[in-house]
Amino acid sequence: MYSECHSPGSSRAVAYNREPIVRMANTFLEPGDHSQEELLEDIKEGVYIKNFMEWNIDDRRFNQRYVGLEAYRIEDGELKDMLRNPVLEVTTVGLWSAVDAVGNDPQFQAAYCGKGDPMQAIPVWTGGPHIRLREVKLGGA
């Protein structure tokens, strides 16, 4: 089923000999108004996942998993000792519904978006601020 709408101009190809695919380009989470300190200070017991290693997502883009690489325990609003490989295994709805605060500190990075078969890996610019998730179960089920 196709909706009656105009193209937002999101179609790109990696080369002249590959067909354009609807895909991300400069994609980032809009910053909020919390400083990193403000995000931390309300957390009595939590985990700060600074970056991640393993990740994957299913073909409906619904079930996803991220495993923290550099991560710390949070206690009474302060960063404590490092944690090894916290696992966030969550649905898309579960992930974004748990966001209760968004930072004002966006950071960006060059990356690749992979799509298509044969594969088209295309450069993208992506990033966002810190986000805080409430009542998230870490460790997978």
Partner 1 sequence: MKTGEMPDHLVNLALKEGATDVAVKLVDKDEVVIRFANNEVTVSKAFREVLFDIFLLIGKHRAATAVPLSSKENLETEVRNLVKTAKITPPAEVYAPLPQGPFEYDPRLTKGSRISLEPDRLTGYVEEAINGALDAGAKKVAGTLVATRATVSLSTSGQVHVTEKKAGLEMSVRAFASDIASGHWVSISRGEKGLEPGEAGRKAGEIAKASSHPRRGEPGKFTALLGPMVFADLVNQVGMASSAFLVDIGQSFLAEKMDSEVASSEFRLIDDPTVADSFGAKAFDDEGVPTKRNTIVDRGVLKTYLHNSTTAKKFRKETTGNAGLFSPRPWNLMVGSGEKSFEELLAEVDKGIYVTNNWYLRYQNHRTGDFSTIPRDGMFLIRRGEISSCIRELRISDNMLRVMRNITELDRSHSWIKWWEVVVPTLAPCAVVEDVSFTKSSM
Interface residues with partner 1 (CB under 8 A) are 16-17, 19, 53-60, 62-65, 67, 85, 87, 89-91, 94, 98, 117-119, 136-141
Q: Which is nearer to partner 1, 9 or 118 (CB)?
A: 118
Task: Tell me phi and psi for residue 97, to 5 degrees.
Answer: -70, -20
Alpha carbons 33 and 27: distance in angstroms, whole number: 19
**Least Å distance between CB 109 and partner 1?**
18
Question: DSSP letters of 62-81?
Answer: -EEEEEESSEEEEETTEEEE
Nearest approach in angstroms of CB 22 to partner 1 is 14
Choice between 55 and 125, CB closer to partner 1 = 55
**Between 87 and 113, whose beta carbon lies closer to partner 1?**
87
Strand 26-28: give its sheet, edge to edge.
26-28, 120-128, 107-115
Q: Which two tokens stand for residue 48?
A: 């700060």
Residue 14 beta carbon to partner 1: minimum distance, rounded to whole angstroms: 13
